[in-house]
Amino acid sequence: MQTIYRIEKDTLGNVEVSNKYYWGAQTQRSFQNFKIGNQRMPMEIIYSLALAKNAAAQANFELGVLDEEKKDLIVSICEEIIQGKLDEHFPLSVWQTGSGTQTNMNVNEVISNRAEMIKKGKIETDHKYLSANDDVNKSQSTNDMFPTAIRIAATTIIMGQTIPAICELMVTLDKKIEQFKNIKKIGRTHLMDATPLTLGDEFSGYRSQMEHCVMTLVNALTHLKELPIGGTAVGNGLNTPQGFDQLALHYIQKLSNIDFTNAPNKFEAMASHDSMVETSGALKRLAVSMMKIANDIRLLSSGPRCGIGEITIPANEPGSSIMPGKVNPTQCEAMTMVCCQVIGNDVAITTGGMQGQLDLNVFMPLIGFNLIQSAQLLADAINSFNIHCIAGIEPDLEVIQKHLKNSLMLVTKLNPHIGYYKAAEIAQYAHKNKLTLKEAAVELQILTVEKFDQLMK
């Protein structure tokens, strides 16, 4: 009769592990001891750890400290992990040791036991062909590999998803700026009537916000791309062969197709995570910008009859279970909720970033989880907001013209000719007596009809 469990061993003794899974004793201990929440370690971090271990194995082989067959096995299994073929074998909670040691060992143990299955057709608990610590983790420590993986994962998402989403939104905004460039409308400051501008002018402001957000993210990535791999336990590279960090970096660049660099000071890159705090700040800036844009869109489209109503947005779904025909700015609402989450994530990352006592920051799972979530949420939300809202916006020319003609702030155009105080007198008199600006100016005998028309032309 086939046994359901096998006995795995670590330095604390024996542990029962289900035969269904490739993980070992240290993973099982973490799985049992940290039943906190339902947030699993992001697979993006797992895949990035596998990429880094692939690179480390190739560097170790080239430097003569790992034989070719072991190198090939590690590389092959890392590729399986990255392809998502072994996802079920990575069960650990985000809320674990602050260094991420148990997740690093989870990856090491899965590679080790997967190698057993490939080599022997079964997992032997003694004399494993690939040792999780001595072979898979060779020239590494969790303390340099886990922050390396976070940096690889976050950079990959930001470069591959977040920034492209912003750029697609900018393309749509460019089209709207051109479409709206000649549509004059009333401006609003303090939510009150102000001087006119064009609808294209308003949308150009949104486009400029996005351009600056891209610049901020690109600047932050310069620091984030500095990898501490090769620093091992405290940053001085103990137990690594000469040149390991540069060679491992070379393979990481090759595997990721991203221009990562070696951290010039690995002590900084492991004891602090200022680069992640900075990147989170850039994502928070993007969230702040998107919050402003989404709120503007729902204000301008409010109504449709009893609000501002100067633009219409796509009717994507019914807006009420009781009010027939109601359509709500749902994409704006989803976007702004994401922005709130990202701003909250930034607070958590900032707080975690403060905790780099002495030679290691031990809030890494928290920081990595929130950084990756922020980058992913913003990418997805911006794509959705762009496709299902911004691209379908149309002006309501009748409402725009009505508001423009009804505004008292057109009186500002008279300031250079009659002075601020006389212009204010006209505006206040018109508002009090429900007159047009022209009617008020004539009744107050400040301007004739002909002169008013000439100045307002």
What are the two backbone dihedrals, phi and then psi, of residue 312, each rounded to the nearest 5 degrees? -115, 145
Per the DSSP assignment, residues forming a β-bridge with 261 are 226
DSSP string, 26-77: HHHHHHHH---SS-BPPHHHHHHHHHHHHHHHHHHHHTTSS-HHHHHHHHHH
Angle between helical axes of 43-62 and 68-82 (0-180°, round to 10) = 160
Q: Which two tokens stand for residue 135?
A: 């072979």
Active-site position among 18, 320, 417, 431 = 320
13-18 and 184-189 strand pairing: unpaired
Cα–Cα distance, 237 to 231 (Å, whole number): 4
Q: Is the link from the previous residue into 264 a cis peptide, with omega within 30 of 0?
A: no
- Is 187 strand, coil or helix? strand
- Is 120 strand, coil or helix? helix
3-class DSSP string for 259-327? CCEECCCHHHHHHCCHHHHHHHHHHHHHHHHHHHHHHHHHHHCCCCCCCCCCEECCCCCCCCCCCCCCC
Q: Is 320 a catalytic site residue?
A: yes
Q: Which positions ≥6 away from 39 have C-beta within 8 Å? A: 93, 94, 95, 369
Report whether 370 contacts 280 (CB < 8 A): yes
Looking at the annotation, which residues are catalytic? 190, 320
